[in-house]
């Protein structure tokens, strides 16, 4: 879907405040409420806007540890990948999972309370996932960037 400057303004405003009312959004981007509502509906239906979420604090929830996990599988057959992906989706501590190129097949970001909790996740979840042949874990010492907003590129305008 090609985006014009108004669409970009809507996206930028919603990234800053996803709870913004249609009236406030319309005023911010310089549209009538009905025109703004139509554009917003188009952005949602086209998949540019995937949803609206509350951003939770892992630390406030007692999840003090972030673990980056590289996983290698026994092969890259469609059945192997789909069975692993179905299993990883069931693990509640996996915050994100990416199929990658290179040395490992997947990179996961996992939240854990502490090292014993990660050991539990490793034993109960990661090693039990189908087709896993190697698990390499790195522990984040400090978070530097965790963006929830994306700067809109000029070529989109």
Residues 40 and 103 occupy one common structural domain: no
In a domain, 22, yes or no: yes
Look-up: residue for tokens 């139509």? 38
Residues 94 and 118 occupy one common structural domain: yes
> Domain residues for 128?
65-139
Residues 91 and 132 occupy one common structural domain: yes
Residues 78 and 134 occupy one common structural domain: yes
Residue 143, judged by CB atoms within 10 A of its CB (0-12, 13-18, 19+), counts as: exposed
Residues 49 and 72 occupy one common structural domain: no
Tell me how far apart the alpha carbons of residues 97 and 105 are, in angstroms, rounded to a whole number: 10
| Angle between helices 33-45 and 5-16 in degrees, nearest 10 | 80
Residues 73 and 133 occupy one common structural domain: yes
Residues 119 and 70 occupy one common structural domain: yes
Three-point CA angle 64, 96, 116, nearest 5°: 35
Residue 151 pLDDT level (bands cut at 50, 70, 90)? confident
| pLDDT at residue number 153 | 65
- Domain count across the chain: 2
Residues forming a β-bridge with 72: 134
Which tens digit of pLDDT belongs to each residue from 65-89?
999 999 999 999 999 999 999 999 9
User: Any idea what the CATH number is for the domain that residue 77 is in?
Assistant: 3.30.70.920
Residues 43 and 93 occupy one common structural domain: no
**Res. 154: pLDDT tops 70:** no
In a domain, 77, yes or no: yes
Residues 44 and 19 occupy one common structural domain: yes
| pLDDT at residue number 157 | 47
Token pair recorded at residue 140: 């984040």
């Amino acid at each position: 879907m090609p985006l014009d400057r108004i669409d970009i303004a809507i996206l930028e405003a919603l990234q800053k405040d996803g709870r913004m009312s249609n009236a406030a959004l319309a005023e911010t981007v310089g549209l009538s409420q009905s025109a703004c509502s139509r554009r917003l509906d188009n952005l949602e239906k086209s998949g540019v806007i995937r949803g609206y979420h509350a951003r939770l604090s892992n630390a406030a929830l007692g999840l003090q540890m972030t673990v980056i996990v590289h996983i290698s599988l026994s092969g890259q057959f469609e059945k192997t990948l789909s069975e692993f992906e179905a299993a990883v989706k069931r693990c509640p501590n996996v915050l994100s999972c990416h199929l990658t190129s290179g040395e490992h097949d997947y990179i996961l970001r996992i939240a854990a309370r502490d090292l014993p909790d990660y050991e539990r996740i490793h034993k109960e979840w990661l090693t039990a996932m189908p087709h896993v042949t190697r698990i390499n874990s790195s522990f984040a010492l400090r978070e530097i960037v965790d963006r929830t907003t994306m700067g809109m590129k000029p070529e989109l305008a």
